[in-house]
Structure 1
């Protein structure tokens, strides 16, 4: 990654050219900052991506200022250069907080650390220059920033982003450790008055920091890609109107539930629900009112289902419910409560008020060879029999033609 340049300091003695390393560090950060900017354009609308681009930009500015030391005023190369890095990690913290959608008071900690950095850089970089104290102060501030961000990620790790978040956390823990090592090394052995004359110890710290910073940038790009992939996977198995699973989603969930129930030797029941006279609502009030009815029924079903139960919309006005660890007798009790609740649910769309009833087809998994498709067919058959026995019709008072004029154009 780095072309380490050796320069002579005496007979047979060499040291790493830290100025060259800083130049290469800036070049690498420039390249990866471009990557983060491109990533922010690619994932427009994703929270935190713009703040992460600012992280890369400010860290690059800081590295560039330090690399140009001796060619620009010390106020810029030492004080502003180091403060740019501190600002960059503050933006990294804000980026991850926004990306993970968390509310936290860490914002105030980052402001406090920036103020400490500002005071110490002015004190030891401008008013009373002292390379050793400046390096210790900067390492302390950056180490606290890295540790805080790593701790935040550890506390807010998302199962869907577990591996990329772990990668980012490890990069930040590594950065925190290198700052601790630098504090100890400088405290024990001191630092040269001119930082550009630093020996191999500080040069290797820079190399490790550079690798870890690049790793953090790549980890964030990985996180955004993983989040997008997760969202796309959710969209493929979710009904956009009701938020329930769609037919594909319930097929996957059913396969897993059936395997678990067989393994644990517990019952599993399933229900297919069909809304009675739903076409009448669409014909009289329009499809928008029909959508409102589907949303209301889905909410009603959720209110009566347990955390492990699975709800899906499998067709226009058809829903399916999986009831793991539930016998058909227990399922019948649940279904009767749902039947009453749906009938009592008022569908409101604008000034339109109506109600809907539902028919149910219930079946229990009854053989080791039976799969979801067979169980669903048995539910569908039971539903057909219930409807033939006399489905509940939408009452005339529930569908009033006098309200047709209330529909929006």
Structure 2
């Protein structure tokens, strides 16, 4: 019948198109080749049965074709899920790279400010404490001049490691740029935040000795601010910490100043 002949021709054309697509991906070594070949298996089996003149295929041709198409669609759905998974992982990796400081591995300024905004919103909603510390490495230009920029990079990496050891989560410390760092201390009141920063100063001094650079002194000027009712937004809280940090520098450096 013309209809049957038309269906048969259409089936064979679709089969040839799928086969060509799978072979093209195999030749180009594209991802997803194995699922494509797996989807082709039932069609290849049908072709072999046709060449062999199988009576089974003649009797159950419609059912066999339905099974082949169902198999192909299932494998295609599986391959699509794999591809979507790869795309999601690539998106997450790109986002992480965009928000990570390449030298220290800490969150960069953008990520640090975003995290600060999130913590600010939670603290406001829950009525919990939130302290931030703005940290500036003292005389960092002199460290670069005296020991070289490679040594300066080692110092920044070591400072980042000291910050990680001081906070609970990796997202609670960030490099703001140059020799400036930000520490986020959710649920920490002012007195405890200041104590932690004094402990950080001691850790930095020990880090300087561990680096083994002759004559290296590693200190920091640190400003601490704790959320108060007058802080309209996260920027206001950060601004007070920044001002306290500059007060520490004016006061002789290597000290912690609590914002008023």
- TM-score for the superposition, normalised by structure 2: 0.82
Name the structure 2 match of 1:68. Answer: 47
Taking the aligned partners of 1:240 and 1:358, their CA distance within structure 2 comes to 22
> 5 Å matches for 1:2-401?
7=4, 21=11, 24-25=14-15, 27-28=17-18, 30-31=20-21, 34=24, 40=30, 49=31, 52-53=32-33, 55-56=34-35, 58-59=37-38, 62-63=41-42, 65-70=44-49, 194-198=56-60, 200-307=62-169, 310-346=172-208, 352=213, 354-367=216-229, 370-392=232-254
Aligned residues of 1:361 and 1:380 also touching (Cα < 8 A): yes
Higher relative contact order (CA 8 A, sep 6+): 2
Aligned residues of 2:36 and 2:76 also touching (Cα < 8 A): no
Taking the aligned partners of 2:82 and 2:115, their CA distance within structure 1 comes to 31
Q: Which moved more, 1:384-393 or 1:196-205?
A: 196-205
Shift of 1:336: 1.5
Taking the aligned partners of 1:320 and 1:36, their CA distance within structure 2 comes to 50
RMSD: 3.3
Q: Deviations over 1:30-75 (max 9, x none)?
A: 43675698794xxxxxxxx4xx33x14532663453242146679x
For structure 2, the 5+ residue unaligned runs are: 256-260
Taking the aligned partners of 2:157 and 2:18, their CA distance within structure 1 comes to 52
Q: Deviations over 1:357-397 (max 9, x none)?
A: 1111100111275222211110111011111111149xxxx
Shift of 1:338: 1.1
Taking the aligned partners of 2:63 and 2:52, their CA distance within structure 1 comes to 26
Taking the aligned partners of 2:187 and 2:45, their CA distance within structure 1 comes to 64
What SS does structure 2 have at the residue aligned with 1:361? Answer: strand
Q: Deviations over 1:177-198 (max 9, x none)?
A: xxxxxxxxxxxxxxx9624532
Taking the aligned partners of 2:207 and 2:82, their CA distance within structure 1 comes to 46
Taking the aligned partners of 1:21 and 1:295, their CA distance within structure 2 comes to 63
What SS does structure 1 have at the residue aligned with 2:177? Answer: coil
Taking the aligned partners of 1:248 and 1:388, their CA distance within structure 2 comes to 28
For structure 1, the 5+ residue unaligned runs are: 9-15, 41-48, 75-191, 394-409
Q: 1:25 to 1:211 in 2, by over 3 A?
A: farther
Which 4+ stretches in 1 moved above 6 angstroms? 35-39
- TM-score for the superposition, normalised by structure 1: 0.54
